[in-house]
């Protein structure tokens, strides 16, 4: 029974790793998509322009623009974390594979 539970836990870990690797690949594809890269650049450029060119008394516009630039950065950061998580999962899967191969020898 213990072996069956270990096997189930190992399968669940493997499934989680596969999901993480898949998410990482999709996140990387998004960050490297030329249309999305262009959209980020356009939005960030626009909002930085709002910050730099707003009237001295238009703090609300600067605050809104700042929040938009920050949201863009946080989205990129979230996608980057997904990529890093997938990288760690790939390393863990490779270590598991090597360990199983060593156990068979």
4 belongs to a structural domain: no
Q: What is the pLDDT of residues 5-46, one digit of tens each?
A: 668 888 888 899 999 999 999 999 999 999 999 999 999 999
42 belongs to a structural domain: yes
Q: How confident is the model at residue 97 (pLDDT cuts 50, 70, 90)?
A: confident
Number of structural domains the chain divides into: 1
More confident residue, 4 or 74: 74
Instruction: Domain of residue 26: give its range.
Output: 17-92
Q: How many angstroms separate the first and last alpha carbons of the chain?
A: 24
Q: How confident is the model at residue 101 (pLDDT cuts 50, 70, 90)?
A: confident
74 belongs to a structural domain: yes
What's the confidence (pLDDT) of residue 4?
Answer: 57
State the DSSP H helix or E strand holding residue 28, giving kind and residue range, or none if neither.
helix 2-32
Q: Is the pLDDT of residue 78 over 60?
A: yes
CB 48 within 8 A of CB 62: no
Distance of alpha carbon 18 from alpha carbon 72, whole angstroms: 28
Q: Rounded to two decimals, what is the model's pTM? A: 0.77
Q: What is the pLDDT of residues 35-74, one digit of tens each?
A: 999 999 999 999 999 999 999 999 999 999 999 999 999 9
103 belongs to a structural domain: no
CB 36 within 8 A of CB 15: no
């Amino acid at each position: 029974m213990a072996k069956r539970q270990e096997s189930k836990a190992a399968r669940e870990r493997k499934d989680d790793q596969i999901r993480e690797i898949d998410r990482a690949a999709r996140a990387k594809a998004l960050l490297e998509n030329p249309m999305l890269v262009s959209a980020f650049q356009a939005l960030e450029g626009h909002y930085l322009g709002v910050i730099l060119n707003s009237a001295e008394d238009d703090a609300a516009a600067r605050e809104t623009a700042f929040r938009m630039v920050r949201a863009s950065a946080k989205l990129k950061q979230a996608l980057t974390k997904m990529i890093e998580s997938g990288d760690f999962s790939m390393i863990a899967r490779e270590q598991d594979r090597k360990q199983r191969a060593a156990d068979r020898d």
